[in-house]
Structure 1
Amino acid sequence: MTTPMLKFVSVAQQQPEKRTAQNRRADFDEIYEDFKPVKAAEQASRCSQCGVPFCSVHCPLGNNIPDWLMLTANGRLEEAYEVSSATNTFPEICGRICPQDRLCEGNCVIEPGFESVTIGAVERYITDTAFENGWVKPTRPLRERPESVGIVGAGPAGLAAAERLRAVGYQVHVYDRYDRVGGLLVYGIPGFKLEKDIVSRRHRLLEDSGVTFHLGQGVGDAEGEIPFAELRKKHEALLIATGVYKAREIGGPGAGLPGIERALDYLTASNRRSLGDTLPEDAKGLDAAGKNVVVLGGGDTAMDCVRTAIRQGAKSVKCLYRRDKANMPGSAREVKNAEEEGVEFVWLAAPEAFLGDDHVTGVRATRMKLGMADPTGRQSVEPLEGSSFTLDADLVITALGFDPEPLPQLWGQPDLAVSRWGTLKVRQDSFMTTLPGVFAAGDIVRGASLVVWAIRDGRDAAERIHKWIKANASADAVAEQG
């Protein structure tokens, strides 16, 4: 008998149990406990099964969320996983790190008057259960194709494309300059949001599917790197999925003082330390233990930094953001977690200068006020005259966003066109760059964005690459017959 849905009127929203703030400050383990089967089914049954599922509409992947919620409510978890994985290459990752409060859950139709369905937690539960029961299998193509595709970048876009291309039989080779698969999933996102064995599990699955990884392999003309032109000769098609790693720098008096660090450098050092790696000398000081820490920025990367600093034993952790809490771009859920763990937010404040002689000792900031809204509806900010104040700081972390690296120059490819922001230009209908047979997807095209968008782009790019290779093969066959 089918379990009735629409239980939001009688069952309250409940997330999986969350470890206490005191306990989770002591380690980098994930903060949420696993859903119990009964609770997962109960929470899934809160779905209203609405005629127009805005949760799916506002999911970049267009996940069939009401369908796998209904299957979960009825205990049909293997089918729920099949539906979930049909549109999402890494549902267990999205269930952990997607800002559901801004996407699927934030657009749940029962939210006015009732709290939304716990979509992310159920998604994570479905896939974790699938792995535990051996339902997740390596991708096995129906037939092998002779053509090979090279992918530069082993982040979410590159990995999603690799899985889809392998599914139709291509010989897929992934090149990455880092020593592990995952990109920012491993080095940029802390373990308390995404434990690294979750990523390495997918790495093993892709290898078992026949994807070949070339790790520690940079692309370029430096010693030990492989020239981009050589990659083009080796493969029928190339996909550039490098992401964006160039940190936006901050200016102002004292901006060059030691102790002012980039967010990604700081997070990478922390993640490598957790992985047991030996850090280079210039990264060993990237530790917040016993320090007054000030993080500049209001996005999810800033939240990762402040929560990492708390776990490293910082003396104090403050987040300085020029707008108010309502206008913060980061996940509201992450802000709440940070507040619980002891982070102090200094809203409507912007840095003016950095103090210190041989090392940063403080941040002089000014109070801001919200002004008129711009065409997007976001309010501008204006400084309040005479409102300067100073925050003590032994470590300042700048989390101001990322820009693309200058790939045409680094790879000696002047014909590889970029936009005015430095992202790669692609044709929207094909994902192809201005170089024939060279495609691009993910942040290197759209700019710094969400992991779920990178997965979507990788899957779509793989489809276009397959279409292009087939068209070329057909044209070649016609030419031979002629």
Structure 2
Amino acid sequence: MAQERMLKFVTVSREMPEKRDASVRAQDFHEIYREYAEAKAAEQASRCSQCGVPYCQSHCPLHNNIPDWLRLTAEGRLQEAYELSQATNTFPEICGRICPQDRLCEGNCVIEQSGHGTVTIGSVEKYLTDTAWDRGWVRPIRPHAERAESVGIIGAGPAGLAAADVLRRAGVQVTVYDRNDRAGGLLTYGIPGFKLEKDVVLARIAQLEQGGVSFVLNCNVGVDLSFDAIRGKHDAVLIATGVYKSRELDGDSASAEGIVRAIDYLTVSNRKGFGDEVAEFDSGELNAEGKRVVVIGGGDTAMDCVRTAIRQGAQSVKCLYRRDRDNMPGSQREVANAEEEGVEFVWLAAPRGFVVGAGVEGVAVQKMRLGAPDASGRRSPEVIPGADYVEPAELVIKALGFEPEPLPALWKVEGLEVTRWGTIKANFATHATSLPGVYAAGDIVRGASLVVWAIRDGREAADAILTYLAQPAQVAAE
């Protein structure tokens, strides 16, 4: 009987949740997709082929048991489906919204390879968890027994929060330190509301607080509190700071007025969304209203910037990327959403410099062509001689990626080894660093990456910390 509810991909076509009209959604920061109804979620879940080797699961960093919770959804067993989805994923409501499913689970769906259109895994996952919140299935953490050991986590982003969840469920005392005034890291201040509404993040943080996780906010480690002090207060420490140092362009005028970093621009926009007073926005410095905006970069951060500028009322928004559409790192789904909202993509275009008067007036652009593949397998851009031109702009946003901050120097800590890229050197399996009892997880170890990888790293690091805490004191000290 259960099997009759599945394998419907031949007769039922792929159908995403309805998108709000571009002309309407471009006026606000609400999420662009409407919710599935229960019948529609069951129908779309029933398209799963229940294949013997589920590539969707193997290509998910968390190895979520996707076929089984799709089957339970198709059968109307929603609470069981939710329980199964959250067994391997600390924040399924977040992953369902912001994971690049087209590159991970959905992009490897077997029925997609056979031409029937992938199962809408992310949308079903989002529906399941939103239903769980609405019906009270998401409950505060209640450990079976409290433990005396404590763990300090530096960084309240997805890696740190995922680790905090695992540790608290085991009864460990957890304190999370973060330099921002709100927890969540990039989930709170980096990702715009039209992809991830902030009440979704705040609800999960509140659940952690209700479960006994302590947050010490506005705490800049190395300034307000030393790293050694945190080590002294706790039995183990997890570094989960993420990477926030923006990559920069060469050139004397790259810091002129009107040329800004993506992280600053997005943070200010999100703060305004919270209702904060933000001088940089109110002055117009980090506000795109009425301006010709050029965003430099082709990743998901660039997509967040161009779509934010549209919502702020920019006169025009253009995205410069040095390769073509097929070779860009960002989500194709996000590119399509941006184009619908009025963003113009200028492919095979790279900045050579800036035209600056009282402020920035334009970007000097070099036209490119694609040559031979580089080490990553993507074709390398080459300059086309004599094809330069100027792209007018009053606001230029650099979305070129992120690098790690020099934590050992900032925190004045000796013996914390880093890689040649500046990331923290940690054991691949245990996430242990060169300092006893100190672990590291997320982007500060692997470099700028996806939220889903940070969640996996945080969960794995927490498991390793629990093993470390269980060792006899003399063994743990070695």
- Band of TM-score, shorter chain: over 0.9
Does structure 2 retain, via aligned residues, the 8 Å contact 1:253–1:354? Answer: no
Measured in 1, the distance between the counterparts of 2:220 and 2:172 equals 23
Q: 1:367 to 1:13 in 2, by over 3 A?
A: same
Give, in whole Å, the separation in 2 of the partners of 1:182 and 1:100.
Answer: 22
| Residues 205-247 of structure 1 deviation map (CA, whole Å, 9 limit, x = unaligned) | 0011111111111211x3xx11111111100000000000000
Quick one: distance in 1 between partners of 2:453 and 2:389?
39
Task: Give TM-score scaled by structure 1 length.
Answer: 0.97
Q: Provide the residue aligned with 1:73 in structure 2.
A: 74
Paired residue for 2:378?
378
Amino acid of the structure 2 residue aligned with 1:53: P
Residue 476 (structure 1) shift: 8.2
> Quick one: distance in 1 between partners of 2:233 and 2:50?
49
**For the Cα contact (< 8 Å) 2:416–2:433, is it kept in 1?**
yes
d(CA) in 2 for partners of 1:366, 1:152 = 42
Corresponding residue for residue 91 of structure 2: 90
Q: 2:64 aligned with 1:63, yes or no?
A: yes
Match of 1:241 in 2: 240
Q: Is the 8 A contact 2:158 2:184 kept in 1?
A: yes
Query: Take 2:163 and 2:44, find their aligned partners in 1: how far apart are those partners?
Result: 32
Q: 1:473 to 1:144 in 2, by over 3 A?
A: farther
Task: Note the C-alpha offset of 1:427.
Answer: 1.6
Q: How many residues align?
A: 475
1:259 paired to 2:258:
yes
User: Residues 116 and 281 of structure 1: is their aligned pair in 2 closer, same or farther, counting only changes over 3 Å?
Assistant: closer
In 2, Cα distance between equivalents of 1:303 and 1:243: 20
Give deviations 1:20-69, integer Å, cap 9, x for gaps. 00000110000000111000000000000001000001100000000000
1:453 is aligned to 2:453:
yes
Equivalent in the alignment of 1:274: 273
Is residue 244–residue 405 contact of structure 1 (8 Å, CA) maintained in 2? yes
| Residues 443 and 449, structure 1, Cα contact 8 Å, conserved in 2 | yes
Between the aligned partners of 2:16 and 2:475, the Cα distance in structure 1 is 54
Q: Displacement, 1:395?
A: 0.2
Determine the structure 2 residue equivalent to 1:197: 199
Counterpart of 1:288 in structure 2 is 288
Q: State the alpha-carbon separation in 2 of the partners of residues 34 and 146 from structure 1.
A: 43
Tell me if structure 2 keeps the 8 A contact 1:155–1:243: yes
Give the match for residue 220 of structure 2: 218
Separation in 2 of the partners of 1:140 and 1:473? 27
2:171 match: 169
Corresponding position of 1:359: 359
- Whole-Å Cα distance in 2 between the matches of residues 205 and 461 of structure 1? 21
Q: Is the 8 A contact 2:69 2:84 kept in 1?
A: yes
| Structure-1 separation of matches of 2:84 and 2:383 | 51
Could you tell me how far apart the structure 2 residues matched to 1:265 and 1:306 are?
14
> Which residue is 1:18 aligned to?
19
CA contact (8 A) 2:423 2:445 kept: yes
Query: Which deviates more from structure 2 when the two are superposed, residues 189-198 or residues 353-362?
Result: 353-362
Contact 1:416–1:424, Cα closer than 8 Å, also in 2? yes
The answer to whether the 8 A contact 1:7-1:46 is kept is: yes
What is the TM-score when the length of structure 2 is the normalising length? 0.97
Give 1:186 deviation, angstroms.
0.7
Q: Is the 8 A contact 1:94 1:451 kept in 2?
A: yes
- Where does residue 392 of structure 1 map in the other structure? 392
Structure 2 gaps, min length 5: none
User: CA offsets, 1:314-371, max 9 Å, x none?
Assistant: 0000000000000010000000000000000000010111002221001110111111
Instruction: Quote the Cα distance in structure 1 between the aligned partners of 2:231 and 2:446.
Output: 23
1:150-189 correspondence runs (5 A) = 150-189=152-191
Q: What percentage of residue pairs aligned between the two structures are identical?
A: 64
In 2, Cα distance between equivalents of 1:356 and 1:214 = 42
1:30/1:193 contact within 8 Å kept = yes
* Distance across 1 between alignment mates of 2:430 and 2:65: 25
- Pairing of 1:314-353 with structure 2 (within 5 A): 314-353=314-353
Do the aligned partners of residues 255 and 9 (structure 1) sit closer, same or farther apart at CA in structure 2, a change above 3 Å counting? same
CA-based RMSD of the aligned residues comes to 1.4
SS of alignment partner, residue 112 of structure 2? coil
Q: Which amino acid aligns with 1:383?
A: V
Q: Which runs of 5+ in 1 are unaligned?
A: none
